[in-house]
């Protein structure tokens, strides 16, 4: 029986919120989240935008990762950078928050699905394996980038995951080949060079984001009753 699988934009209403969703923001939100979770000295949250949580008192005690320019009263402030997520000192027990331009808004747009996963290349094989264990669940793959932005990496990775799931998803070599083809297509685009030239951590961030299966974790979001926060959890 064919798998119920689709690729959808989060900027339009979803035809259905049945099943699970996977949100991809390769450069850089998804990779920042995975890197922070791997270190995890304290709870890790996402918010739909920094502007929406500026007045939230709990943010004052959080390490905030965001490329957005708004000032915010917080414990520490960092760019939405996997490198900074990996290398910045992190005191045990301090909470971290990620709020970005497209990645986290896309995650909150998908909040009514049964489960929302953080899609990436850094855990591509582990996520395919987890999704393969859900044969009866519809799966919606959601590239976070705005279509007109020409940020091709999210769409390319979503297409690669669809190919893996519709093909021989139980064969690790096939799944890895899908990921490798996605990485090579992204490297052939202008995006890595643009980010490397634009951002002080761009070259390192791109290298981390394109490191296939760097992590074996599968991450999902646990949305709170408060519509402004979701906690990142081990979703395996």
What is the CATH classification number for the domain harbouring 184?
Answer: 3.90.1560.10
Which tokens belong to 216? Answer: 């074996």
pLDDT of residue 2: 67
Q: Where are the beta strands (DSSP E) in 53-191?
A: 62-65, 76-78, 95-98, 115-119, 139-143
Q: How many domains does the chain have?
A: 1
pLDDT of residue 150: 78
pLDDT of residue 93: 96
Bridge partner residues of 96 (DSSP): 44, 63
**Residue 97 and residue 45 in contact, taking contact as beta carbons nearer than 8 Å:** yes
Helical (H) or strand (E) element with 221: strand 219-223
Structural domain for 226, as ranges = 5-234
Identify which of 57, 103, 61, 58 has the alpha carbon closest to the alpha carbon of residue 80.
Answer: 103
Write down the pTM of the prediction: 0.96
**Residue 197 and residue 96 in contact, taking contact as beta carbons nearer than 8 Å:** no
Which tokens belong to 204? Answer: 């390192």
pLDDT beneath 70: ranges in the chain: 1-2, 149, 236
**Residue 121 and residue 26 in contact, taking contact as beta carbons nearer than 8 Å:** yes
Which DSSP category does 55 fall into?
Answer: T
pLDDT of residue 81: 97
């Amino acid at each position: 029986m064919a798998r119920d699988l689709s690729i959808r934009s989060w900027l339009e209403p979803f035809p259905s919120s049945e099943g699970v969703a996977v949100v991809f923001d390769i450069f850089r939100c998804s990779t920042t989240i995975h890197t922070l979770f791997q270190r995890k000295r304290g709870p890790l949250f996402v918010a739909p935008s920094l502007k929406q949580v500026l007045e939230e008192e709990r943010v004052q005690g959080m390490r905030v990762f965001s490329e957005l320019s708004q000032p915010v009263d917080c414990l520490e402030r960092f760019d939405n950078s996997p490198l900074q997520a990996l290398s910045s000192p992190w005191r045990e027990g301090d909470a971290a928050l990620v709020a970005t331009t497209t990645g986290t808004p896309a995650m909150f747009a998908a909040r009514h699905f049964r489960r929302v996963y953080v899609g990436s290349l850094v855990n591509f094989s582990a996520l395919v394996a987890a999704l393969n264990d859900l044969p009866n669940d519809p799966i919606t793959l959601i590239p976070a980038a705005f279509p007109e932005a020409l940020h091709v990496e999210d769409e390319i990775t979503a297409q690669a995951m669809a190919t893996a799931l519709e093909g021989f998803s139980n064969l690790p070599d096939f799944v890895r080949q899908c990921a490798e083809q996605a990485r090579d297509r992204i490297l052939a685009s202008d995006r890595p060079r643009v980010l490397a030239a634009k951002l002080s951590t761009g070259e390192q961030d791109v290298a981390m984001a394109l490191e296939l299966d760097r992590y074996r974790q599968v991450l999902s979001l646990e949305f709170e009753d408060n519509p402004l926060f979701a906690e990142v959890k081990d979703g395996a």
